[in-house]
A and B are shown apart, each in its own frame.
Chain A
Amino acid sequence: MKEYQTITEVSGPLVYAEVDEPIGYDEIVEIETPSGDTKRGQVLESEDGTVAIQVFEGTTGIDRNASVRFLGETLKMPVTEDLLGRVMDGSGNPIDGGPEIVPDERRDIVGAAINPYSREYPEEFIQTGVSAIDGMNTLVRGQKLPIFSGSGLPHSDLALQIARQATVPEEDASEGEDAEFAVIFGAMGITQEEANEFMEDFERTGALERSVVFMNLADDPAVERTVTPRLALTTAEYLAFDKGYHVLVVLTDMTNYCEALREIGAAREEVPGRRGYPGYMYTDLAQLYERAGRLKDRGGSVTQIPILTMPGDDDTHPIPDLTGYITEGQIMMDRPLHSQGIEPPVNVLPSLSRLMDDGIGEGLTRADHADVSDQMYAAYAEGEDLRDLVNIVGREALSERDNKYLDFADAFEERFVQQGFETNRTIDETVELGWDLLSTLPRTELNRVDEELIEEHYREDVSAGEGETEEVSAD
């Protein structure tokens, strides 16, 4: 392997070097600084005679005398089942003091696109034990469902709760009984404190032994963040499609990832797109998110829960916007609900699970699930609308019907969404709770529920809210 001492320019995370042999695009590079540090990088642009290298670990200490080695291959992740229970840094080096990893195989981290023809449509319900998700925005195996959050909201608690509680009810009925659950956690630019919180929870619940953790912390080099999720997903694909695990990948925080992309774009003097983010950000994000799914004739699945904090709680910001166009829905965290003390503060109205319709119903969850959820959406939306009005005209000026909707909206937040981060509700409990709430509305208002189901489940004697019994007219 040839070594070059031909660096001509260092600019931000980029290093330009002269070469006298052809170097492949995306190839891995090692740069040794005069002080003896070795830094890794990747070829961003390869021209006859010069290459542009993106350095993962920061360019501090690199000078014109640093030597550059091209390894002749693209970035690979050593994969093996033994990764379970291990903690690694953002570049995939173990940091838990455990033994060295002996890989079964080394896989390209870019990952080829899944042939749409080879996919299997996801329709297996995952019970997260969270009513706002199970009942209203059901998650299924192979889905990518991000959490759209804001700074200071408890998205990590929700992600941990999902990772801890996620099960598939009556596993044996549908497929291979040996299918196991694994969690892959990819952290990008999170603080040490957040990282500790995650690790403590993993250790407390014993989840660590079925997890693989990749940690790129806030003070680690930003460019490394572009690699971390790819390592995580390569590991996930291996465990899912080669070893038959049902893998849940939690990626946090995608906003930091996108900032890193922008940084590289700016360093390369690229033409920026919206708000300075590169024009290829959609494609880049898609190459991460689309690595979720199921394959025909294979047991495992990759389910993704990326977390992102929306700058300024603005969901039209390019990061949540592009994410929403790729992922199969979103779980929206809400600041007002959080300040009301609702845990988890999920606002179900802007939340959505695109794969819900095929993952619920008879045989999967319950026959009345879809209708109940639809009706609750409509009723909660109506109650929400009325709240604006109440602020102006007061409750007395509203009709009895409108007051019922207002009560419904309050009860929905306080009893259905509110459950705490430690409570695990089965889907039955969630749907029954839904009926409790819907029964506070007059029967005739339930226009989205099948008449037979109303007959079966509608409770004639339910009171709205705490104690104050209201008459529920059946007609």
Chain B
Amino acid sequence: MSQATESETTEGTGRIESVSGPVVKAVDLDARMNDVVYVGDEGLMGEVIEIEGDVTTIQVYEETSGVAPQEPVENTGEPLTVDLGPGMLNAIYDGVQRPLDVLEEKMGSAFLDRGVDAPGIDLEKKWEFSPEVEAGDTVEAGDVVGIVPETVTIDHKVMVPPEHEGGVVESVEAGEFTVEEPVVTLENGEEIAMRQEWPVREKRPTVEKRTPRTPLVSGQRILDGLFPIAKGGTAAIPGPFGSGKTVTQHSLAKFADADIVIYVGCGERGNEMTEVIEDFPELEDPKTGNSLMARTSLIANTSNMPVAARESCVYTGITIAEYYRDMGYDVALMADSTSRWAEAMREISSRLEEMPGEEGYPAYLAARLAEFYERAGYFENINGTEGSVSAIGAVSPPGGDFSEPVTQNTLRIVKTFWALDADLAERRHFPAINWNESYSLYQDQLDPWFQENVAEDWPERRQWAVDTLDEEGELQEIVQLVGKDALPEDQQLTLEVARYLREGYLQQNAFIEVDMYCPPEETYAILSAIQTFNDEAFDALDAGVPIEDIIDVDAAPKLNRIATREDWEPYVEELETEITEQIRSLY
């Protein structure tokens, strides 16, 4: 969180009137809505969430045990902001952008203490700044004035802050600087440093939101193949516990072809965040071959960390995402889970004794969710570049019931829906994404890209797969009643083909190295191979070959092994020939 508050003059000091969990009421505090305040003798960080007469209500981002009435409350006069500048990648923050590694060092303990503050970006570290402007150039808000190599993968573009009026450059310095030292001086006397601040609850300005037309390739067959999301798109992953939300989110964070990934662990498990912290530095970014952390920023506010900071962590995440978007990057933001965020709102709302809406959630739930997802998109930035923020939110519906308010309000906004299914998870069909319930509204606008970059008949093949799976769904209902053998032969064959689609195409093992990432070309190849089997098999059936013989050809089970082959290209080619020959030899 922002340290600039130190230099601000204190606007007014009040005192605590009452304490109840994370909600503290103060009197005599001269504060505006959403100002950040320091509460009590320990200086716990909080935010103003209600003002009524002389009484100011504050949500506190830390534990409040032991805090008593009469203790002071100090106003910083500033809303909750994040520090923006080089050093945010390869970092891990809590919900109010305090770096967790720095906190560990400062507290000297593995447990999170209270009242310890730390700046979001290292103020001491020097960065190599190379100017992109010269003396005499005119710069405006958003313009790039220089470049800092932030990580091996990412060049950090130092920009004129958005609210800045700009002007003519008087002098510009190259060399090593800290984030607070001025690197560009304007003729009007204004100085520009690498670091800027932005209030988290406000979106950063842009020129225009555009229709996204490139896919965010995820390397997950069912996503790329059937339900793609666009760069700048929004998606929801709802599912009951144990259905694989987090594994899916992790796979996306690892393999999505975004430039930057912001991973927000909102109210989830501590061990899961540790897994990310331990795994990501060792994993390779499939795009550049560098360490994954070089493009990743983590925000971890686990379920046992203070609830108010959980409420703010998605905003911290999306503000950082927008900042990198302004540089012209494609950013993907994963929020796991938005339900915990909604519950944090509910918890605070109920402590405020607000009139509850559906299931106790505050009436503004829908508005907050919409506001958040609307910050995603494919944008023209104010400096003329184009960048995108894709937002993918996991939803954890109680009891796996999708009719609950968080899922429903999310579905009204997002355009991609990946429905996780407990039944599939139970039979270890992963990713447990239900192909009948899921949808993507981006298909039409993304098809041209797939046609151009992968294969001309991409949409037709996808449609064939969807149709076959649909048909299987209907046939399964009959099978449940009469058994498989009572079906006519062509329907039995459809079931067999659908089984290969499920096992060889839709299933993907996130824990096997060769299978965890599947490029679109391979996705396409597997589907084509299964379709080849389908076409040949039906031809044979028409020619009078008994179904048992067709199903029993040796080559067919190999369809399920393509995904785990390093050498899938020659393997598929060989397999298609093999299948064709073996089936044709039957008649």
A25 x B68 contact (CB < 8 A): yes
Q: What chain B residues lie within 8 Å of A26 (beta carbons)?
A: 64-66
B398 x A22 contact (CB < 8 A): no
> From residue 393 to 416 of chain A, which have CB atoms closer than 8 A to chain B?
393, 397-399, 402
A22 x B71 contact (CB < 8 A): yes
> From residue 469 to 524 of chain B, which have CB atoms closer than 8 A to chain A?
479-486, 503, 511
A206 at the binding interface (Cβ < 8 Å): no
A329–B243 alpha-carbon span in the complex (Å):
10
Which A residue's beta carbon lies closest to that of B99? Answer: A117
B17 at the binding interface (Cβ < 8 Å): yes
Q: Interface digits, A317-347 against B, CB 8 Å rule (1 contact, 0 not)? A: 1100110111011100000000000000000
Q: What chain B residues lie within 8 Å of A393 (beta carbons)?
A: 482-483
A46 x B19 contact (CB < 8 A): yes
Given A22-B69, A321-B241, A44 contacting B20 (CB threshold 8 A): yes
A316 at the binding interface (Cβ < 8 Å): yes
A274 x B242 contact (CB < 8 A): no
A241 x B360 contact (CB < 8 A): no
Which A residue's beta carbon lies closest to that of B511? Answer: A357
Interface size on A, residues (CB 8 A): 84
Given A142-B271, A293-B270, A388 contacting B428 (CB threshold 8 A): no
Q: What chain A residues lie within 8 Å of B304 (beta carbons)?
A: 113-114, 283, 286-287, 289-291
The contact of A316 among B70, B274, B401, by CB within 8 Å, is B401
Q: What chain B residues lie within 8 Å of A283 (beta carbons)?
A: 303-304, 307, 343, 347
Given A45-B18, A118-B104, A381-B427, A279 contacting B347 (CB threshold 8 A): yes
Q: Interface digits, B32-70 against A, CB 8 Å rule (1 contact, 0 not)? A: 000000000000000000000000000000011111111
Q: Interface digits, A69-89 against B, CB 8 Å rule (1 contact, 0 not)? A: 000011000000000000000
Which A residue's beta carbon lies closest to that of B398? Answer: A321
A272–B481 alpha-carbon span in the complex (Å):
44
Q: What chain A residues lie within 8 Å of B114 (beta carbons)?
A: 112
A298–B109 alpha-carbon span in the complex (Å):
12
A25 x B274 contact (CB < 8 A): no
A290–B460 alpha-carbon span in the complex (Å):
48
B300 at the binding interface (Cβ < 8 Å): yes
A318–B241 alpha-carbon span in the complex (Å):
12
B68 x A23 contact (CB < 8 A): yes
Which A residue's beta carbon lies closest to that of B64? Answer: A25
Q: What chain A residues lie within 8 Å of B425 (beta carbons)?
A: 352
A115 x B68 contact (CB < 8 A): no
A324 x B242 contact (CB < 8 A): yes
> From residue 425 to 442 of chain B, which have CB atoms closer than 8 A to chain A?
425-428
A95 at the binding interface (Cβ < 8 Å): no
Given A272-B360, A286-B303, A349-B426, A23 contacting B69 (CB threshold 8 A): yes
A117–B109 alpha-carbon span in the complex (Å):
11
Q: What chain A residues lie within 8 Å of B111 (beta carbons)?
A: 111-115, 118
A449–B346 alpha-carbon span in the complex (Å):
46
Of B269, B307, B554, the most chain A CB neighbours within 10 A belong to B269
The contact of B347 among A241, A280, A326, A447, by CB within 8 Å, is A280
A145 CB to nearest chain B CB (Å): 12
A220 at the binding interface (Cβ < 8 Å): no
B17 x A47 contact (CB < 8 A): yes
B353 at the binding interface (Cβ < 8 Å): yes
A110 at the binding interface (Cβ < 8 Å): yes
A328 x B426 contact (CB < 8 A): no
B112 at the binding interface (Cβ < 8 Å): yes
Q: Among A119-127, A196-204, A417-425, A455-463, which stretch is in contact with chain B?
A: A119-127
The contact of A108 among B19, B65, B511, by CB within 8 Å, is B65
Q: What chain B residues lie within 8 Å of A47 (beta carbons)?
A: 17-19, 69
Which B residue's beta carbon lies closest to that of A72? Answer: B66
Given A316-B400, A447-B503, A295 contacting B110 (CB threshold 8 A): yes
B308 CB to nearest chain A CB (Å): 11
A27–B66 alpha-carbon span in the complex (Å):
6
A210–B452 alpha-carbon span in the complex (Å):
67
Q: What chain A residues lie within 8 Å of B356 (beta carbons)?
A: 271
A114 x B112 contact (CB < 8 A): yes
The contact of B110 among A44, A118, A388, by CB within 8 Å, is A118
Q: Interface digits, A1-39 against B, CB 8 Å rule (1 contact, 0 not)? A: 000000000000000000000111111000000000000
Q: What chain A residues lie within 8 Å of B422 (beta carbons)?
A: 350
Which B residue's beta carbon lies closest to that of A269? Answer: B353
Q: What chain A residues lie within 8 Å of B109 (beta carbons)?
A: 112, 115, 118
B428 x A377 contact (CB < 8 A): yes
Q: What chain A residues lie within 8 Å of B241 (beta carbons)?
A: 321, 324-325
A23–B17 alpha-carbon span in the complex (Å):
11
Q: Interface digits, B242-282 against A, CB 8 Å rule (1 contact, 0 not)? A: 10000000000000000000000101011101110110000
Q: What chain A residues lie within 8 Å of B560 (beta carbons)?
A: 447
B399 at the binding interface (Cβ < 8 Å): yes
A114 x B401 contact (CB < 8 A): no
A457–B556 alpha-carbon span in the complex (Å):
24
Which A residue's beta carbon lies closest to that of B103? Answer: A115
Q: Interface digits, A288-300 against B, CB 8 Å rule (1 contact, 0 not)? A: 0111010110100
Which B residue's beta carbon lies closest to that of A49? Answer: B69
> From residue 333 to 380 of chain A, which have CB atoms closer than 8 A to chain B?
349-350, 352, 354-355, 357-358, 370, 374, 377-378
A372–B411 alpha-carbon span in the complex (Å):
38
Given A117-B100, A270-B350, A279 contacting B360 (CB threshold 8 A): yes
A324–B399 alpha-carbon span in the complex (Å):
10
Given A273-B360, A290-B303, A316-B401, A116 contacting B113 (CB threshold 8 A): no
B343 x A25 contact (CB < 8 A): no
Q: What chain B residues lie within 8 Å of A381 (beta carbons)?
A: 426-428
A392–B482 alpha-carbon span in the complex (Å):
8
B271 x A121 contact (CB < 8 A): yes
B340 at the binding interface (Cβ < 8 Å): yes
Q: What chain A residues lie within 8 Å of B63 (beta carbons)?
A: 110, 112
The contact of B398 among A114, A291, A316, by CB within 8 Å, is A316
The contact of A321 among B273, B399, B479, by CB within 8 Å, is B399
B307 x A280 contact (CB < 8 A): yes
Given A119-B271, A279-B347, A325-B241, A444 contacting B65 (CB threshold 8 A): no
B65 x A241 contact (CB < 8 A): no
A271 x B104 contact (CB < 8 A): no
Q: What chain A residues lie within 8 Å of B399 (beta carbons)?
A: 315-317, 321
B427 x A377 contact (CB < 8 A): yes
B39 CB to nearest chain A CB (Å): 11
B112 CB to nearest chain A CB (Å): 5
A80–B477 alpha-carbon span in the complex (Å):
62
Q: What chain A residues lie within 8 Å of B485 (beta carbons)?
A: 397-399
B384 at the binding interface (Cβ < 8 Å): no
B333 at the binding interface (Cβ < 8 Å): no
Q: What chain B residues lie within 8 Å of A291 (beta carbons)?
A: 304
The contact of B353 among A119, A143, A271, by CB within 8 Å, is A271
Given A24-B65, A110-B63, A120 contacting B398 (CB threshold 8 A): no
13 A-B pairs with C-beta separation under 8 A:
A47-B17, A113-B111, A113-B302, A117-B101, A117-B103, A282-B267, A282-B340, A283-B307, A290-B269, A330-B242, A374-B428, A377-B428, A475-B554
6 interchain residue pairs of minimum CB distance = A316-B399, A286-B303, A118-B110, A381-B427, A47-B18, A290-B304
Which residues of A are in contact with B by a Cβ distance under 8 Å?
A: 22-27, 44-48, 73-74, 108, 110-122, 142-143, 241, 270-274, 279-280, 282-283, 286-287, 289-291, 293, 295-296, 298, 315-318, 321-322, 324-326, 328-330, 349-350, 352, 354-355, 357-358, 370, 374, 377-378, 381-382, 388-389, 392-393, 397-399, 402, 444, 447, 475
Which residues of B are in contact with A by a Cβ distance under 8 Å?
A: 16-21, 63-71, 92, 100-101, 103-104, 107, 109-114, 240-242, 265, 267, 269-271, 273-275, 277-278, 300, 302-305, 307, 340, 343, 346-347, 350, 353, 356, 359-360, 396, 398-401, 422, 425-428, 479-486, 503, 511, 554, 557, 560-561
Given pairs A117-B100, A118-B109, 13 additional interface contacts (CB within 8 A): A25-B20, A45-B20, A46-B18, A48-B17, A112-B63, A116-B265, A116-B300, A142-B271, A272-B360, A283-B307, A283-B347, A321-B241, A381-B428
